[in-house]
């Protein structure tokens, strides 16, 4: 068997990323673009001793769950990997990803709830970041990176972002071409424009951030863009002079309009700065928070920590139902947003602390008896030292929110070894059309250790 060869494969199941699984000549095949119970012709793209990766090139027997992709870039763009399945199957793939990963880690929750599915499959993303590049005709383009490469796939629209965002993106591309602005070249590390980020809110207002290698002065850009798109309420430059493939730099320079974008979540008002985190799917974010609050089973006399709290969105929602909440967050801009959000919503029983959770929780450990901790870390999961202190504090209940079930399972295993028991797990479809899935897990401290 060789890379590039084509085989006929019968698909027997799905893997964690929604790829079809097949077996042939003692090898397990992971087949991109193939559905369970289909027979496909697939080309080998990568070969290992016991397994191989392949890409569907023709479907010989089609599943009734196959759906035509609405995206013209689905063959090359690495953004969405579940455009070819119906939504019912997409939900099953995500539920399976959660239950299989838990089972592999030997975690047995008392209950795994059904996935909280999304009413909206397309146009849901409230943030999009696209790198600039050049096409074969040497014209400026922007797009997503091709699967497993650093090659940009030029796009004019993205199905999972609102159409207003695609219109602004097209306008910016035209502007860059007409003004003959240079784009950053990774090889030579020269050129001005690196990427564009657009955030939008529930009212379809937008914040535009141009990522540049060096300071760029052009008063005409903001005027021109906002005259054509009055919903663009805020424009920033993000300065990234480093020769790195990390997209965003540390410094933001305000160019036009408001310095924050306004968002409404569960009847609370929020301001968000360009550097602050916000869940990417507004309606699913509300479902996620409601489920976290249900699993928390709060009472009015309880003290709570919301670790990795961002702009304080869960913190303030929790505060309505308990005695006091500490929110801990490392990004300074996000903590400033959180404090403004606290004031704007007139909520008093909250304190936001800026710093790494693993350090700040140590200080709370010395002065407070905490009844519940909610944590929602980035994809890499929690810091080990942070988990050690959570266990030392013998906090009776934990609600762990995660966008990466693999790292969540690693952390949950540690909590189980330290006397916690897993109660409920709820998967949430935060990222329709992709195989990513959010989840919430509730844990309690076993009674003999309290």
Ligand X SMILES: C[S@@+](CC[C@H](N)C(=O)[O-])C[C@H]1O[C@@H](n2cnc3c(N)ncnc32)[C@H](O)[C@@H]1O
Q: Please list the active-site residues.
A: 403
101 binds ligand X (CB under 6 A): no
Q: Give, as ranges, the residues between 311 and 330 that touch ligand X (CB under 6 A).
A: 313-314, 328-330
- Sort strands 39-47 and 20-24 into parallel, antiparallel or unpaired: unpaired
Query: Which range touches ligand X (CB under 6 A), out of 15-23, 61-69, 306-314, 336-344?
Result: 306-314
Distance of closest approach, residue 415 Cβ to ligand X, in angstroms: 18
Nearest CB to ligand X, comparing residues 31 and 309? 309
Q: What are phi and psi of 353, to 5 degrees?
A: -125, 130
Distance of closest approach, residue 439 Cβ to ligand X, in angstroms: 12
Task: Report the C-alpha gap between 220 and 244 in whole angstroms.
Answer: 29
334 binds ligand X (CB under 6 A): yes
Between 170 and 189, how does the x/- string for binding to ligand X read (CB under 6 A)?
--------------------
Task: Report the C-alpha gap between 129 and 294 in whole angstroms.
Answer: 33
Nearest CB to ligand X, comparing residues 117 and 402? 402
407 binds ligand X (CB under 6 A): no
Neighbours of 319 (CB within 10 A): 23
Give how many residues touch ligand X by CB under 6 A: 19
Q: Give, as ranges, the residues between 208 and 227 that touch ligand X (CB under 6 A).
A: none
275 binds ligand X (CB under 6 A): no
Query: Which range touches ligand X (CB under 6 A), out of 80-88, 149-157, 215-223, 271-279?
Result: 271-279
Let me know how long the chain is.
Answer: 450
Instruction: Pick the binder of ligand X from 105, 107, 331, 423 (CB under 6 A).
Output: 331
Neighbours of 288 (CB within 10 A): 23
Distance of closest approach, residue 368 Cβ to ligand X, in angstroms: 18
Between 383 and 402, how does the x/- string for binding to ligand X read (CB under 6 A)?
x-------------------
DSSP-derived 3-state class of residue 302: coil
341 binds ligand X (CB under 6 A): no
Task: Report the C-alpha gap between 46 and 148 in whole angstroms.
Answer: 12
SS3 content of the chain, % helix, strand, coil (to 5): 25, 35, 40
Nearest CB to ligand X, comparing residues 329 and 429? 329
376 binds ligand X (CB under 6 A): yes
Task: Report the C-alpha gap between 383 and 52 in whole angstroms.
Answer: 33
Distance of closest approach, residue 36 Cβ to ligand X, in angstroms: 31
Distance of closest approach, residue 316 Cβ to ligand X, in angstroms: 11
- Residue 145 tokens read as 């990176």
Instruction: Pick the binder of ligand X from 308, 326, 352, 431 (CB under 6 A).
Output: 308
Instruction: Pick the binder of ligand X from 378, 392, 394, 449 (CB under 6 A).
Output: 378
* Residue with smallest beta-carbon separation from ligand X: 310
What 79-86 contacts at long range (C-beta under 8 Å, 24+ apart), as own/partner pairs, is: 79/144, 79/158, 79/160, 79/434, 80/159, 80/160, 80/433, 80/434, 81/17, 81/18, 81/19, 81/32, 81/434, 81/435, 82/18, 82/433, 82/434, 82/435, 83/159, 83/433, 84/33, 84/35, 85/18, 85/35
Task: Report the C-alpha gap between 360 and 335 in whole angstroms.
Answer: 14
- Residue 103 tokens read as 């089972």
Distance of closest approach, residue 275 Cβ to ligand X, in angstroms: 9
356 binds ligand X (CB under 6 A): yes
Nearest to 57 by CA among 69, 39, 70: 39
309 binds ligand X (CB under 6 A): yes
Nearest CB to ligand X, comparing residues 112 and 334? 334
337 binds ligand X (CB under 6 A): no
8-state DSSP, 113: P
Q: Is 347 in contact with 319 (CB distance < 8 Å)? A: yes
Distance of closest approach, residue 427 Cβ to ligand X, in angstroms: 16
Residues that bind ligand X (CB under 6 A): 277-279, 308-310, 313-314, 328-331, 334, 356-357, 376-378, 383
């Amino acid at each position: 068997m060789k890379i590039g060869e084509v085989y006929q494969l019968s698909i027997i199941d799905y893997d964690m990323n929604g790829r079809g699984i097949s077996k042939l000549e003692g090898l397990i095949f992971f087949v991109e673009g193939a559905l369970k119970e289909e027979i496909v012709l697939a080309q080998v793209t990568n070969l290992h001793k016991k397994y191989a990766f392949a890409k569907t090139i023709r479907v010989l027997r089609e599943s009734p769950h196959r759906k035509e992709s609405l995206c013209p870039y689905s063959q090359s763009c690495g953004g969405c990997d579940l455009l070819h399945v119906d939504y019912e199957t997409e939900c099953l793939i995500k539920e399976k990803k959660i239950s299989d990963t838990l089972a592999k880690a030997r975690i047995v929750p008392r209950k795994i709830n059904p996935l909280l599915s999304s009413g909206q499959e397309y146009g849901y993303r409230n943030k999009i970041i696209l790198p600039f590049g050049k096409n074969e005709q040497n014209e400026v383009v922007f797009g997503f990176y091709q699967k497993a490469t650093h090659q940009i796939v030029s796009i004019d629209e993205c199905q999972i972002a609102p159409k207003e965002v695609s219109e602004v993106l097209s306008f910016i591309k035209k502007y860059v071409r007409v003004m003959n602005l240079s784009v950053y070249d990774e090889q030579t590390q020269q050129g001005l424009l690196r990427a564009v980020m657009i955030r939008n809110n529930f009212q379809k207002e937008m914040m535009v951030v141009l990522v540049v290698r060096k300071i760029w002065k052009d008063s005409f850009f903001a005027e021109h863009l906002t005259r054509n798109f009055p919903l663009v309420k805020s424009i920033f430059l993000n300065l990234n002079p480093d020769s790195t493939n990390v997209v965003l730099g540390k410094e933001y320079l305000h160019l036009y309009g408001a310095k924050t974008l306004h968002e409404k979540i569960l009847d609370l008002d929020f301001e968000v700065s360009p550097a602050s985190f916000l869940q990417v799917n507004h309606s699913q974010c509300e479902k996620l928070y409601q489920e976290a609050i249900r699993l928390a089973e709060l009472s009015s006399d309880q003290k709570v920590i919301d670790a990795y709290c961002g702009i304080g969105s869960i913190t303030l929602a929790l505060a309505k139902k308990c005695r006091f909440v500490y929110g801990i967050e490392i990004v300074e801009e996000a903590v400033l947003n959180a404090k403004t959000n606290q004031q704007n919503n007139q909520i008093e029983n909250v304190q936001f602390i800026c710093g790494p959770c693993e350090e700040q929780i140590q200080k709370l450990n010395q002065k407070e008896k905490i009844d519940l901790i909610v944590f929602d870390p980035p994809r890499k999961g929690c810091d080990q030292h942070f988990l050690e202190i959570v266990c030392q504090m013998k906090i009776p209940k934990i609600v762990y929110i995660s966008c990466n079930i693999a790292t969540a399972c690693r952390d949950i295993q540690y909590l189980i070894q330290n006397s916690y028991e897993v109660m409920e797990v709820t998967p949430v479809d935060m990222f329709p059309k992709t195989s990513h899935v959010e989840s919430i897990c509730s844990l309690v401290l076993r009674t003999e250790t309290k």
